[in-house]
Structure 1
Amino acid sequence: MDDIREKWQMLLICIAIGIIAAIITGWFLYQNRMEFWKMQARSAFRVALGEELQKRSVEIPFSAQENIDLSVMDANDRKKEPIKVSMISKYGEKNFIIPYEKHIHNIERPSDWRAIRSIVLEDHPLIADSLNLLWKELLGWIEYPGKTAVRISVMDWWEHEACSYSEDSLYLSKSDSLDTHYLGYRCEVGVTGYLYGPWWMIFSWKDMLLLGALIVSCTLLYFVYDYMSRIYHRLFVKEISVVVEKEVPVVIEKEIPVIACHESQPHIYRLEDGLRFDADLNMLKNGDMCVKLTPLSAKLLRGFLDAKDFKLSNDEILNLLWPDGNGTLNNLHTNVKRLRGYLSRISNYKIENKNFSYLLKNPHFIEEIPE
């Protein structure tokens, strides 16, 4: 029973190792795949944004640029601090503080191009759904399995922000911000792309089979180990038992049937007709036949062999098998019956019930083998 329990424990440990290995492998595989897709998606997002802006490449009248204060911002590119710009429009003149992160991520570097872009986007604003659809088409060419979403934010003259989202905005709460680009003289237009790629979308069927095979392989390791262990013990491990015995045959005749026995080192009882009882191994042997006794049956048999006239009362058996007092007569009868079964399978010895006692006997004359 203990061997079966240990085998099940080892099997469960191998399965657990396989699951943990599959989880770790899957995590690294997912991270590697997502890094690849993010790199591809960033490139596609810039291309899609460029195509959308190209649709708005309208001719700007020179007179429209006269009220624009074309501040020189290129000299500030190396400064990691907010940038101050001044603009004149129909609403008047105003100074704006542009965060360095917005300035450095503006897709157009020259300040005059930014100013022109502000005028164009004011008349022809970007549409989130149109940009997202174009982005999806570009990613479709490289078979990206996940979802995308786009957010466009516009800061008005009074620095109030308004946002619009693509129709896939429900993925925004689950996805990561992939990239943000800014447009305009004061970086008033922000375009952000979102990428949503859970593992069940990113992993292919081949990946699933690979991770499943990893779990199965770790499970099979247990069976390979068990098989190799059996082969090793069969080929290289031999069981050798050494018993030192002295035999001096003495014939004893008694009026009542008895058994004669002797306990020699190490705790082996030699009985009549070649029957032996190994008290250390709880084993009955007769020639090539062996019977393994339960611990209680072995203890009861040894009690009979050590008792005077091989006879034990009910109270003696109860004290022998259950010294803590938990034994009952029903337990006693069950264990005596079990010992009878063991003896009948390998010998002619019997256990008889007489006057609230039990007697172990053999109907033949027996030899006693002293030490």
Structure 2
Amino acid sequence: MNTTYIVKRKNIIRIGVLVACMLFTIVYGILIFNACKQREQAWSRQAKAVFLEAVGNELKKLDKMEIHGFHTITSLFQQKTLETDIPDSVVFALQDGTHVYHLPLHRRNNAYFKDGDKNIYLSLILEKYPFPFDSLHYAWDKQLALSDIKGKTGVCSRITDLSRKVSTFASGALEEFAPSDSLVSTYLGYRLEMELSGYISYSWWSLLPGGMVITVVLLWCMYIFFWLFYGRLNQLVSKRTVVVEKIVEKALLPAKSRNKTRHIKARVYRLEHDVFFDAEQRLFCDGNGVIEKLSPAMSVLLEHFLKASDHTLTKYEIYQIMGKDLEEYSLDSFYKMIERFRKKLKQFSSVTLHSDGNGAYRLILPLDPTDMN
């Protein structure tokens, strides 16, 4: 088989597998990105609802303190038949005169209570009892953990007094949050003077869908395994089944000599009249005894040549017999091995190794006197 073709075929297979892995990873990467965005949106919706619920629970605590402390029957959470709208602005008569406070639309839209009367009562409560934003942060974090939402949170409270001075209080390291991490804001009081904001940020790792990531990792582990061991696996398979296609032009020897195997008995071959090769013992012998013991590799190669049709092997077959990989075993090393094999044959016999120039090698055995009869 043409060695260039084999190398190209192996490279095509490896490149094909690499391209398939890359395409699979790109498709899965898009799916993972979309899954992360969907999970982030779902978590944010749930975290917002939990934050507003936690604000309501803290307000209920303040409401109960007001009821029990002053024995009032008014409650922020009592059912009312009629609700008053939040006005565009409110007027306060202070010592230095009348002041008008305009209520921006975004504050009115995000007010916790959409009832003007409740907001008046809430302002009175907030003057007596500071809003416990630390407790709000703790309750929010606890509920997020129960909901299996993994994120870093912070709570910020901004209070605007009657002189329009803003005081800011924070629970959590707000400097670590970006403006885009602001999740929700709600407003309390008659002037909507208190702003409560919740911040949350998610690590990219917490948003990743574990199953999809494991699939991609396993895919690339399989590819690395394939890349490292493909040549060895291919070599092991080729040792079991070798398909050889060869087109060889060679000079014909006399008919009597051409297909003669010189097979004397089990794994013993006659190389010439008085020189024998014992493949089992890896020995060159003559009538006087042992001449030389061959190395295991040369012994295996010589026996394959003797058993082959016309004593001919292609370069690919020699690679397979020697257990070498076409890509890892250089041509220079191959030719050096062939030259050592030639010298060993020449040293103890008249057997020669002939190359036809097309990648095939033929073992030329000298004519035995018995072949000429």
State the TM-score bracket (shorter-chain normalisation): 0.5 to 0.7
Question: Aligned pairs, how many?
Answer: 260
Unaligned stretches of 5+ residues in structure 1: 62-71, 77-82, 231-237, 244-266, 276-283, 294-332, 352-361, 366-371
Query: What pairs up with 1:206-221 in 2 under 5 angstroms?
Result: 207-208=209-210, 210-217=212-219, 220=222
2:315 to 248, 270, 292: 292
2:197 aligned counterpart, secondary structure? strand
- After TM superposition, the score normalised by the length of structure 1 is 0.54
Instruction: Identify the residue that residue 126 of structure 2 maps to in structure 1.
Output: 121
CA distance in 2, matches of 1:84, 1:122: 20
Instruction: Identify the residue that residue 248 of structure 1 maps to in structure 2.
Output: none
Cα 1:337–1:178, aligned 2, differ >3 Å: closer, same or farther?
A: closer
1:37 to 36, 39, 43: 43
Instruction: Identify the residue that residue 106 of structure 1 maps to in structure 2.
Output: 111
CA contact (8 A) 2:86 2:108 kept: no
Instruction: Identify the residue that residue 85 of structure 2 maps to in structure 1.
Output: 74
Aligned identity (percent) is: 20
CA distance in 1, matches of 2:315, 2:138: 78
2:43 aligned counterpart, secondary structure? helix
Q: Quick one: which amino acid aligns to residue 85 of structure 2?
A: D
CA contact (8 A) 1:14 1:218 kept: no
Deviation by residue 1:225-276 (Cα, 9 ceiling, x = unmatched)? x89x99xxxxxxx9877x7xxxxxxxxxxxxxxxxxxxxxxx834343659x
CA distance in 2, matches of 1:90, 1:30: 56
Deviation by residue 1:191-222 (Cα, 9 ceiling, x = unmatched)? 1111222133345xxx4354223332466589
Q: Quick one: which amino acid aligns to residue 124 of structure 1?
A: Y
1:169 to 174, 177, 187: 174
1:270 to 251, 254, 260: 251
Cα 1:335–1:6, aligned 2, differ >3 Å: closer, same or farther?
A: closer
CA contact (8 A) 2:151 2:202 kept: yes
1:185 aligned counterpart, secondary structure? coil
1:159 aligned counterpart, secondary structure? coil
CA contact (8 A) 1:41 1:139 kept: yes
Cα 1:336–1:104, aligned 2, differ >3 Å: closer, same or farther?
A: closer
Instruction: Identify the residue that residue 136 of structure 1 maps to in structure 2.
Output: 141
Query: What pairs up with 1:225-244 in 2 under 5 angstroms?
Result: none
Q: Quick one: which amino acid aligns to residue 176 of structure 1?
A: D
CA distance in 2, matches of 1:9, 1:19: 15
CA contact (8 A) 2:89 2:103 kept: yes
CA distance in 2, matches of 1:345, 1:286: 22
Deviation by residue 1:164-208 (Cα, 9 ceiling, x = unmatched)? 1103535434971111101122222111111222133345xxx43
CA distance in 2, matches of 1:239, 1:364: 27
1:150 aligns with 2:155: yes
CA contact (8 A) 1:344 1:350 kept: no
Unaligned stretches of 5+ residues in structure 2: 1-6, 73-82, 236-242, 260-304, 317-331, 355-363, 368-373
